[in-house]
Each structure stands twice: as C-alpha cells, then as structure tokens.
Amino acid sequence: MKRLWLLFAQTVTVLVAALFVVATLKPEWLNRRSALPTVVPVIESPADSAAAPAGAGTNSLREAAKVASPAVVSINTSKAPENQPQSNDPWFRFFFGDQGQGQPQAGLGSGVIVSQAGYILTNNHVIEEADQIEVLLNDGRKSAAQVIGTDPESDLAILKVTLTDLPVITLGDSDALSIGDQVLAIGNPFGVGQTVTSGIVSALGRTQLGINTFENFIQTDAAINPGNSGGALVDIRGHLMGINTAIYSRSGGSMGIGFAIPTSTARTVMEAIVREGKVTRGWIGVEPQDLTPELAESFSVPPGTGVIITGVLQNGPAAQAGIRPGDVVTHVGEKPVSNVAQLLSAVAALTPGTPSTLDLVRKEGKQRVQITPGKRNLPKPQAAGNR
C-alpha cells in the first residue's frame, strides 16, 4: 500500500510539473481562445502613402481643378472713348470746359482654350464692341487675340491666339449631366486672378430667362461673379461641361444661381464659326405659343406635348408647307418639342434650303408635312441682362 501511494505521489508530481511547463511555455495548448489575435486586423496603408497627395480621394476636386485650370484664360478688353464732336468748338469748351477725348473703356472676362490651334471659347458680351483684346494665360503668357466670329443669339464668340504649346481643355458630354452632379466654375472674378469655386448642377434646360435668344442653360450654385463670364464649368474629371454666362443677382454678386451654356451648344456654334465664320440657322416663319392644358385637352394631346401655332407669315416657308394657325407642332424632324424654346432651337438647327418634316396635330388628326426652311436673319441687338 505504501508503495502504491508513493507511485501515485510521484505521478501527480510529474503531471503538475508538466502542467507548469506547458502553462509557462505553451499556454495556447491549455486555452484555444488565447490563439485569437489580441488586436482587430486592419488593412494598412502602403509604406509610401506619405508620397500620395493628401485629399486625393473622392471628396477632393483638386485633380479636376489641376486638369482644367491651365486652359482657362483671362480676357482684358478695351474700347476707344467716343469722340465728342463739340470738343473742338471753342464756345463749347468755354461753357463746359475741356473734356478731352475721355478714357478708354476697359472690360474683363474669361475664356477657355479648346484647341492647340489657338481657338478660345468665350461669351460674345465679353468681347462685344472691343477694339483691343488681350488674353492672359494661367502660366503668365500674354497675347493679343483675333476675333474669328461671334454668335450674339447664343452669346458665344471664338477668339484665336498665335501662342504655341497651349494647354487645351477636354470637351465633355454635357447631355450626360444630371441634377446633383458636382461641378467647378473657373474664371477671373472681379479681376482678382484665377479662382475656382465648387457646387452642384441645380437644374438643366433652363429657358425663358430673357438672356439669350436661344436658351438651354445649366443652372449651378457654384459661385459665378462678374469676370467669370466666358469661363469654364467642369465636371469632377476636369472636362468642360459649359461656358459660364450669367447670374441671377440683386446685388451684382453671386447669390447661388448661375447659368452656363452647355458644351453641346458651344461645340455646334464653334464648329460653324470656325468653318464658315458665322452660324447659319433655319427659319420657318411662324408665331408659336406654349400649349395650355385647356388647349391640349381640346386637341386631345397630353399637356406639354407640342406647341400651338398662332400666326403664320404669308408666303413664308410654313405657309408654303400648308401650316396654318391652330396647328400643334409636336416634332421637328425627329426631335420632340414641348415648348416654344424647344421649337425655336429645333427649327434653328435645320439647314436652310434642305427639306425637313414637321409632325402636326389638327382637329382632323395627326399629319406630317414637308417644309423647306429659310435662313434666319440676325435680329437687332438687345440690351444685355445681369451677367
């Protein structure tokens, strides 16, 4: 018995010693939970992350500004003072003093380089009636600019400089814009130097603002101030989406409502001016009016579908095509029209002398007529609004 007890004691001693050794050197053998990591694993940033630009993530617009800013220029204009015919009359000078010839009138705006050939897009009202135009690049270079052509009805103009190695902006697809998209406005407000402001697309297809004859504006809350006219509205990739043109303001400064001409319009105008020196638009000789719900009901068409013709010019293209007052135009070619602005733009896009079609709704039902548009004459200049 004594011998068995001694054997038991020795066995227990060995087991306790082994347990001590295991608990000291390999505790995970005794408790598998201890094998779990003591910290939550994370994905570490690369060791050279310090070399990456701070803020280069999706919340930063620095890359868009970096890409687009070099192609945005400042435009300085000057106009010779008006001569006073009486200034040489000694009696005039006796009573009113020597008024001299006055001071030149200076103007300020912005523009966008769109071609290595030196073509610059800007607003017509920026360079209108200017005697001298100077372009200042973001890299400090200056150059006199030549006016290639203007289009007062869309308020666009094309300039050209003879500099080399020009930074050129990429033309984007303005038709792909959606409300809420982030945009940047780049220009030279108040002459303080190139400035970048950010915002979103607030609305699309703004018309009937009384700014231009042909209106299809992008509305944005990116700050646009005097001097920004002709500058760039770009997306988050730095691609040109529009030409900043006008603001709604009671104070003269930005109130968060700015308007830009879409790139789709600017591209069409630019190509026509570079190719022909002017923009030629179609004309059919009608007086249109938006379709009211009452009129839409009487013609059995959905509200907002089509434009009613209230007047037709005698012997004009529309009269020769058989269009008469009371007709509702729903399509010009393949383009649907739902308001007067859309009808005007669709007709203007027609090539004078080339037959096209108009879809009409009459009391008798739907009809399609063939029409040969004439050439639209440039209207007399009108006073500009807030820009």
Active site residue 125: yes
- Residue holding tokens 């012997």? 315
Active site residue 331: no
Which residue of the set 74, 110, 155, 359 is catalytic?
155
Length of the chain: 387
Which residue of the set 125, 151, 254, 359 is catalytic?
125
Tokens representing 9 are 């004691």
Which residue of the set 174, 229, 254, 345 is catalytic?
229
For residues 162 and 118, the answer to whether their CB atoms sit within 8 Å is: yes
Active site residue 251: no
Catalytic positions are: 125, 155, 229
